Amino acid sequence: MLELLATATGVELSKFVLGQVLDLSKPVLESYVRDFFKGCLESGVARLHAEQLKPPMAAAIGFFIQRFVKELQFYDVPDTSIDHHYAAVLKRFVRDQAVCVILGKAFETGYKKIDAAQLEEIWTAQYQEPGWQFPAEDFDWPGVCKEYVVQVKAIVKADAELRAILDSDHQETQTALLQQLAGRTVGFDLTQYRQAILKQYGALKLESLGSSQYEREGTNYRDLSLWDVFVAQEARECQDYLPQMYEIPKEQQRRYQQAGAIDELAEAEVERRRDFYRQSSPESILAIAGVTDDSALVQPRHPYLVILGDPGSGKSTLLRYLAVQWARQGTEDQIPLLIELRGYSQSRENGECQDFIDFVHRGSNWVNHLDQHQLEEWLTQGKALVMLDGLDEVVDRQERGTVLTQIHGLTQRYPAVPVVVTSRVIGYRAEALRGARFYHFMLQDLEEAQIEDFVQRWHDLTYRDEAERDRKRDRLKAAIARSRAIRELAGNPLLLTLMAILNRGEELPRDRTRLYEKASEVLLYQWDVEEKLLKDARLEKYPIELDHRDKQRMLRRVAAQMQNSPKGLAGNFIRHEALHACLTDYLKTIKEAPNAPSIATLIIDQLRERNFILCYLGDDAYAFVHRTFLEYFCAAAIKERFDKRGTAGGLSLEQLRDQVFAPHWQDETWHEVLQLVTGMVEPEFAAGLIQWVMDQKIDPVEHLEERSDSLQKSGLMNLLLAADCLGEVRDRATLASLDTQLLQRLQTEVEREYPYKFTREAAEAMIGAILTCWPDHSQLSEWLEFCVGFSNSWYVPQTAVGAIATLKARRPQTLTWLKNLSQSDESWRVRSAAVSELARGWKDDPDTLPILKSRVQSDEDMVVRITAVSELAQGWKDDPDTLSILKSQAQSDENGAVRSVAVTELARGWKDAPDTLAFLKTRAQTDEYGYVRSAAVSELARGWKDDPNILTWLKSRAQTDEDSDVRSAAVTELARGWKDDSVTLAILKSRAQTDEHEVVRRTAV
């Protein structure tokens, strides 16, 4: 192809490009022409003009390719390599929408150069493959583009019809601009803009929960104010580690690595980053976004943020909240621009706009148009907050690449404007924006207190009758408290809202099976397959009805397919081919649809466009939006087979035991499914399954922790799983004997703890199982108090303290008991647990704060002092003595670990105190304990990154500090926070090669 292209000129070149390079169908080619010329034809490309514009456009593209190839040849890239590697890729490159817009700008009247840097960035990021002989450092992009523009001007000069079109459009544009300046077109009315934001985003968006759920008993949920129910979540920095991407099966990890979605890292490095992520303290997302009580301005901690999260985790709600906050406050120091990227891409596709500013000016999917010339002034002055919502919803890969390039360009053009981007984490490519100085944060699930806050607000707003409100609120809270899995679901804001809606009409099912079934019905209501099918002309001859029961059956088959895959339930994903085959088989065999493959394709297409129960992961893979639904539908598929016992494909009770429970009872990824199956079958069948699990033999020696010879939770798996399964049985009264037998066996194991002590995890699991499964047992409190007195145990006593604290409503003497334990119990573990429970459960009691202060300063054990320091710092920040106590402990406590914790709490809680920075520097340089100094170094690097002196100070610590822990911490922080600094790499290389301590060398590597 390139050989023929090299010799073509004029009309011949134009025809060759249209036929061999672009090679597009007529409607697609017309769309391409519109994209190519929309940068220079403000009035758009009429169909009449499209035919006239194709030849000059094709000739220009042909010359660009010719000049590109000449540049390759100049740097001795072999012709065979050009033909083999570059021919097909260059075709894709010039077809790229972002590229064609840039190339088309050369036709604009008075335009002298095109954006060579942007073309280079697109080529490097999306088209250049590793291993090619591409002269990346020498390739003369500006020279190629300059000669291209010169050639385009020659094409225009030689084509009278083209000149007439361009001149006419230029005159129309000037006229429109004059009219605009005269105030007869788009305005800049901020009062109207505020009203539009409040109308668009002021109410809670519940469309994804099914419209039939909006109104119940006179309540219109569409009237709920976002402002009144918004609960700010916490977030963790995830600049170097995306947990949902690295905690998936290795096979899928490799696919993402090959696609460039995640870095390919050694296992040890993944583990290091994982530990760093998990150990970092979550912070309020509003604090990270820069929302404060004393200022109407939103000033993010970092000028460019990416907020990541799972579906329904609150990403969009956060941005809407920030926009609504501005609209309510009425400030004119800053305006928010909330751009939903799905709508933006649609407007671009329709030729309505070219970039974000153009979209705000005239895009049909924008909330309220603002004059782009006045908007430019605000942006140039930094008086705006740009929020780009849903990068993952730009499905087309090339379009997403264009959007990413435009985001980067926005930050370069308006460096004073903060930019916040949101995306689902699965499929997100961190390096795309990491290189543009974006900092990444992961939204966390709602904490218990946040869930309670939301539940309280929801019921206050949606119930008129006080008695009913209190009853329904308490009912929902009890349902969440009863089940670990339901608590996990409640951590997702969307699913918590769903529970609140379901709770109004009827009691949330006590068994999770019914809850998941009802939840799936509501979510499946929105999976509107029927409407999609009716609109598709290919299927008019084949009418088909698919209700929510059909959708549930299809999802059961999908879950079963995942269960039977090589990775089983450990991996929540399914490849496109397997998903298509699964849906096609159902449509053929159950619905007898003659066009089953086409319907299956349409269903899958819809999944790519919008998340319902299943979502598109990218890279040709799909998953359930929440693992809970995978487990529920897998269990439902097993139950469906059990109901068919005695028939072909059915499962007898023995087969259920031997083929489902026996292979999987020790695999924790299967436990949720086994529990759900137990709850789905009749109690008499459940009893046999639970008894079988209880009777399984485990050799404890095989489950001892290597460093301590303590018994791990896995060594008690039979009893723990049996208790979890028993908790799922709807009518436990029929299993009274089994119930008593299991409780006695659990208590016996806890009491004897011989010859092996429990690990912390095992102790918490055993006591947690008893507390969860028998919360109302008459002897529970007395038995737990008995456990607190175990002198030969490590973790059972302190775990029992926490368990008793949860029973405070039924045990009025708990407060006095905890006060005594915190001060006088002989075990430091018990004292520490009691201090923690007092601080968290009885903060308002007048004795709690004095006890904490006393434990900080006088307890003989360092762990108790550490616990008291942390609780004091986090719960009593406003107490006038707290800061001075922390400084005293950071400076004078005899134990280095206590000083280290005090330093950390001081840095994170009192960053704005006038002498905190100087105090931390002193600790970092003078404390005798290396761990204290390294903690101070890390906190200074993270909390004062913008301080002009910190980088110099860190470099000094990395190279000259006497303590290896400090040098190691400084090296870590330099690599993490100052990758682009010119000296950082040299310091890392030096430390890796010459540092005298192995830990520092390993850290630098």
- Dump pLDDT digits (tens) for 808-841: 656 778 899 999 999 999 999 999 999 999 998 8
Task: Kindly report the average pLDDT of the chain as a whole number.
Answer: 82
- Amino acid at site 214: Y
Q: Is the separation of the CB atoms in 155 and 331 below 8 Å?
A: no
Angle in degrees, CA 586, 589, 591, rounded to 5: 75
Predicted local distance difference test score (pLDDT) of residue 833: 93
| % the chain with pLDDT above 90 | 30
Residue 261 CA to residue 264 CA, distance in Å, equals: 9
Q: Which residue has the higher pLDDT, 131 or 872?
A: 872
Q: How many CA atoms lie within 13 A of 401 on its CB side?
A: 19
Which range has the top average pLDDT, 116-125, 262-271, 585-594?
585-594
Most distant CA atoms of the chain, gap in Å: 98
- Dump pLDDT digits (tens) for 306-316: 999 887 788 99
Residue 954 CA to residue 975 CA, distance in Å, equals: 11
In this prediction, residues 650-659 reach a mean pLDDT of 95
* Segment holding 265, helix H or strand E: none
Q: Is the pLDDT of residue 855 over 90?
A: yes
- pLDDT band at 643; cut points 50, 70, 90: very high
Predicted local distance difference test score (pLDDT) of residue 694: 96
Hey, where are the domains in the chain?
2-181, 205-444, 449-508, 515-633, 644-772, 911-1005
Q: Which residue has the higher pLDDT, 168 or 857?
A: 857
Predicted local distance difference test score (pLDDT) of residue 613: 79
Predicted local distance difference test score (pLDDT) of residue 249: 47
548-563 and 627-643 helices, crossing angle to 10°: 100
Q: Show the 3-state SS of 395-462.
A: CCHHHHHHHHHHHHHHHHHCCCCCEEEEEECCCCCCHHHHCCCCEEEEECCCCHHHHHHHHHHHHHHH
Q: Looking at 335-436, which runs of residues are DSSP E strands?
A: 335-340, 384-389, 419-424
Predicted local distance difference test score (pLDDT) of residue 183: 41
The length of the chain, given as a count of residues: 1005
DSSP, res 610 = S
DSSP character string of 659-695? IIIHHHTT-HHHHHHHHHHHHHS-HHHHHHHHHHHHT
Predicted local distance difference test score (pLDDT) of residue 58: 86
Residue 358 CA to residue 338 CA, distance in Å, equals: 14
- Amino acid at site 324: V
Q: Is the pLDDT of residue 6 over 60?
A: no
In this prediction, residues 710-736 reach a mean pLDDT of 92
In this prediction, residues 378-402 reach a mean pLDDT of 88
Q: Which residue has the higher pLDDT, 30 or 329?
A: 329
- pLDDT band at 654; cut points 50, 70, 90: very high
Q: Is the pLDDT of residue 304 over 80?
A: yes
In this prediction, residues 426-449 reach a mean pLDDT of 83
Predicted local distance difference test score (pLDDT) of residue 97: 77
Q: Which residue has the higher pLDDT, 664 or 182?
A: 664
Predicted local distance difference test score (pLDDT) of residue 182: 41
- Dump pLDDT digits (tens) for 531-551: 656 566 655 666 777 777 888
Two tokens, residue 927: 């404390």
Q: Is the separation of the CB atoms in 553 and 566 below 8 Å?
A: no
- Amino acid at site 568: G
Angle in degrees, CA 733, 737, 740, rounded to 5: 95
Place of tokens 């059961």: 556
Two tokens, residue 742: 């299991």
Q: Which residue has the higher pLDDT, 494 or 263?
A: 494
* Segment holding 103, helix H or strand E: helix 97-104
User: 318-322, 454-458, 949-953: lowest mean pLDDT where?
Assistant: 949-953
- Dump pLDDT digits (tens) for 756-772: 889 888 999 999 999 98
Predicted local distance difference test score (pLDDT) of residue 213: 46
Residue 635 CA to residue 512 CA, distance in Å, equals: 12
- pLDDT band at 571; cut points 50, 70, 90: low
Nearest to 149 by CA among 181, 194, 184, 103: 103
Which range has the top average pLDDT, 85-94, 152-161, 694-703?
694-703
- Amino acid at site 878: D
- pLDDT band at 10; cut points 50, 70, 90: low
Q: Which residue has the higher pLDDT, 572 or 282?
A: 282
Predicted local distance difference test score (pLDDT) of residue 893: 92
Which range has the top average pLDDT, 75-89, 229-243, 970-984?
229-243
Q: Which residue has the higher pLDDT, 873 or 563?
A: 873
- Dump pLDDT digits (tens) for 672-683: 899 999 999 999
**413 CB-contact burial (10 Å; exposed 0-12 / middle 13-18 / buried 19+):** middle
Q: Is the pLDDT of residue 292 over 60?
A: yes
In this prediction, residues 697-704 reach a mean pLDDT of 91
Residue 804 CA to residue 781 CA, distance in Å, equals: 7
- pLDDT band at 258; cut points 50, 70, 90: low
Q: Which residue has the higher pLDDT, 223 or 70?
A: 70
- Dump pLDDT digits (tens) for 15-51: 777 777 777 666 667 777 877 877 666 545 544 456 7
**487 CB-contact burial (10 Å; exposed 0-12 / middle 13-18 / buried 19+):** middle
Q: Which residue has the higher pLDDT, 711 or 392?
A: 711
**Residue 440 forms beta bridges with which residues?**
306
Q: Which residue has the higher pLDDT, 837 or 620?
A: 837
Which range has the top average pLDDT, 602-611, 859-868, 953-962?
859-868
Give the contacts of 967 (CB within 8 A, at least 6 positions apart): 957, 958, 959, 961, 991, 995, 997, 1000
Place of tokens 């950390």: 904
Q: Is the pLDDT of residue 275 over 80?
A: no
Q: Is the pLDDT of residue 176 over 50?
A: no
Place of tokens 């896995």: 714
In this prediction, residues 292-306 reach a mean pLDDT of 83
DSSP, res 845 = S
In this prediction, residues 846-861 reach a mean pLDDT of 94
User: 489-503, 664-678, 850-864: lowest mean pLDDT where?
Assistant: 489-503
Give the contacts of 622 (CB within 8 A, at least 6 positions apart): 573, 574, 576, 579, 604, 607, 614, 615, 616
Predicted local distance difference test score (pLDDT) of residue 992: 83
Phi, psi of 775 (to 5 degrees): -65, -25
Predicted local distance difference test score (pLDDT) of residue 582: 93
User: 69-83, 462-476, 696-710, 771-785: lowest mean pLDDT where?
Assistant: 69-83
Q: Is the pLDDT of residue 463 over 80?
A: yes
In this prediction, residues 593-613 reach a mean pLDDT of 77
3-state secondary structure of 339: strand
Q: Is the pLDDT of residue 932 over 50?
A: yes
Architecture of domain 205-444: 3-Layer(aba) Sandwich (3.40)
